[in-house]
Amino acid sequence: MFRLELLKLRKKTRSWLGPILVFWLIMLAYPLTVEFLQDKLEIGFFSVLWIAILISMMLATEDIFTEDFNDGSLEQTLIKNLSFSISIVTKIFTYWLLIGLPISILSFIFSLGTTEDFLLSISIFPLAIISSYIFLNLFVLGNALSLNKGSVLGALVTMPLALPVLIVLGKGLIAIQLNINFLSFIFLLLGSLSIIIVVIPVVVSYVIKAHLE
């Protein structure tokens, strides 16, 4: 199942390369909007980074189910004896592997390039990994809800759920910069992710079933 999803996504180059390029462009465009002074760049860098991850994940899930819905693959998966939720988990993981992970690595590289602080940048890496996976799950839910109605509606209805994650990311970053217990924020995000990984695929599978009925 994983291999099939990987193959399908690899063939849709625009679907996985597009969000990564958008992320790249946002991060490259950021220094152009501020003065090239190190401290000025650092002020807004992480806010732009989190928003860029959010937007990239939103774009990544734009057509996650559309093709499968139109060609009947989703119906086939549903009538097979395989667990529909597991197939959703696999799909999300594949998308994260091809889009979320490269974006997290790029986050580390851009962070290192901007702040020139290795320890800070290495701390950003797990935050980017976890937050990209959470955002991906949330937007997958949005796209499942608005299947055939355009991804904008889906993004609109699930975006509010992503805002608490952004708040935690902001607080986590302050904790890293002040060298206080930032691990608690990582654990908080991990806790949220562990719930989301279980709940979202189940909800998405029910939502898609409702569309197919």
Partner 1 sequence: MIKKFIHQFASPKTYLYQVDRFYSYIFLFSIITYIISITWGLLYTPEDFVQGNSYRIIYLHVPASFLSQSLYIAMAISSVTYLIWRVKLAAYLVIAIAPIGAMTTFIALISGSIWGIPTWGTWWQWDARITSTLILFIMYLGLISLHNSFSNHEKADKLLSWLVIVGAINIPIIKKSVDWWSTLHQSASITLTDKPSIDPVMLYPLIGSITGFFGLVICLVLLSSKYQIFIREKNKSWVKDYV
Nearer Cβ to partner 1 (15/158): 158
Furthest-apart CA atoms within the chain: distance in Å: 59
| Among 108, 41, 85, 122, residue whose Cα is nearest residue 208 | 85
Binding region for partner 1 (CB under 8 A) out of 40-48, 72-80, 121-129, 198-206? 198-206
Q: Which pairs count as long-range contacts for 1-7, CB under 8 Å and 24+ apart, including other chains?
A: 1/82, 1/86, 1/87, 1/90, 2/90, 2/93, 2/94, 5/90, 5/91, 5/94, 6/94, 6/97, 6/98
Q: Report the chain's C-alpha Rg in angstroms.
A: 18
Q: How far is the CB of 157 from partner 1 (least distance, A)?
A: 4
For the segment 4-43, give every residue that binds partner 1 (CB under 8 A). Answer: none
For 28, the token pair is: 């490259």
Looking at the Cβ atoms of 84 and 110, the one nearer to partner 1 is 84
Tell me the DSSP string of 120-146.
HHHHHHHHHHHHHHHHHHHHHHHHHHT
Of 81 and 160, the one with the shorter C-beta distance to partner 1 is 160
Nearer to partner 1, 53 or 200 (CB): 200
The reply to whether 175 sits near partner 1 by the rule CB under 8 A is no
- Least CB distance to partner 1 at residue 69 (A): 14
The mark string for 126-165 relative to partner 1 (x by CB under 8 A, - otherwise) is ---------------x---xx--x---x--xxxxxx-xx-
> Binding of partner 1 at residue 47 (CB under 8 A)?
no
From residue 165, how far is each of 2, 10, 122, 157, 206 by CA, in Å? 28, 29, 19, 15, 24
Q: Per rule CB under 8 A, is residue 213 in the interface with partner 1?
A: yes
Least gap, CB of 38 to partner 1 (angstroms): 26
171 exposure class (CB count in 10 Å sphere: 0-12, 13-18, 19+): middle
- Which of 31, 171, 183, 193 touches partner 1 (CB under 8 A)? 171
Q: How far is the CB of 162 from partner 1 (least distance, A)?
A: 10
- Shortest distance (Å) from residue 177 CB to partner 1: 17
What's the distance, CA 187 to chain centroid?
18
Binding site for partner 1 (CB under 8 A): 141, 145-146, 149, 153, 156-161, 163-164, 167, 171, 199-200, 203, 206-207, 210-211, 213
